[in-house]
Amino acid sequence: MYQQKIAITINSDFDKEKLSAEFVILISELSRSGQIMGGESSYFTENEIICYPNTLEMDSLDTKYNNKWVDLRIKNLEDWCNAELRTEFVGEHIPLSNDVCKCNTHDSYVLFTTFLKENSPVICGSCGSPVPVYRINELTDKDQYDIQSWEGDYISCDNLNMGCSVGEKWAIKQMSDATSQLSKSGLKVCSRIAEITEVPVYYYLFNYRRISIVKDKLRRCPTCNGKWLLQERWLGLYDFKCDKCKLVSSLSSRS
């Protein structure tokens, strides 16, 4: 993970509230395109607006990854401030970790995230590392929006699950049941990515059941009832995989 600085100098009398609102929208658009990890605060100094976002790659803020909304917000800010938006590489996070997918081609993808939201929700099925959303060229702005929207809902459910007090059971069902509203929206995102990349995309079903490991291993694919237990764990995380329904899951850590 890398730390970057995004800043613009204000060389005009333009309304500061409008400028700050536009800057905040730019930051959220960059988060949607996967170019920054999101959640960062922005600051006003005497004559500058600044943000220090985290990125998955050193060049995540390269303009070649911008979608049209990012470009529009930058153009507005530059016109209104009478200055150019600057991006600057600050440094690499400690401990150093650079586990972004470097594969040229992908056998498959997995849609996966957790409450920690430490990375891209699209995992490479060839190497198991995250693929920054902006690297999947075929995705439209709407697709990026749908991915971010599913990711936000999943993280909200996982937070309820981790909180263990309000809505825990409901949240676990949303994450484990292939027919839940959350899973339906995730599976729709998977189908869309598969359609445009022509690569199979698997959807992860959370598994936290109070059952024995023997019973857990006997579980069948919840959609087609076929056998889906793998001989060997896939990508170090998935014990179950149904190629027909494009579903993956793990053995319960609770058993």
Name which of 177, 158, 70 is nearest 118 in CA terms: 158
The distance of closest approach from Cβ of residue 187 to Zn ion in the complex, given in angstroms and rounded to an integer, is 12
The distance of closest approach from Cβ of residue 179 to Zn ion in the complex, given in angstroms and rounded to an integer, is 13
The distance of closest approach from Cβ of residue 104 to Zn ion in the complex, given in angstroms and rounded to an integer, is 9
Q: Whose Cβ is closer to Zn ion: residue 192's or residue 246's?
A: 246
Dist CA 123 CA 243 (whole Å): 16
Q: Whose Cβ is closer to Zn ion: residue 31's or residue 108's?
A: 108
Binding site for Zn ion (CB under 5 A): 101, 103, 124, 126-127, 221, 223-224, 226, 242, 244-245
Q: Whose Cβ is closer to Zn ion: residue 155's or residue 199's?
A: 199
The distance of closest approach from Cβ of residue 81 to Zn ion in the complex, given in angstroms and rounded to an integer, is 39
The distance of closest approach from Cβ of residue 125 to Zn ion in the complex, given in angstroms and rounded to an integer, is 8
Residue 205 three-state SS: strand
Q: Whose Cβ is closer to Zn ion: residue 88's or residue 99's?
A: 99
Dist CA 107 CA 55 (whole Å): 25
Residues 6+ away with beta carbon under 8 Å from 35: 55, 60, 61, 65, 66, 70, 132, 134
Whether residue 226 contacts residue 182, with contact meaning beta carbons closer than 8 Å, is answered with no
Q: CA torsion sign, 117 to 122 to 125 to 129?
A: negative
* SS3 of the chain: helix, strand, coil, percent, to 5: 35, 20, 45
Q: Whose Cβ is closer to Zn ion: residue 23's or residue 238's?
A: 238
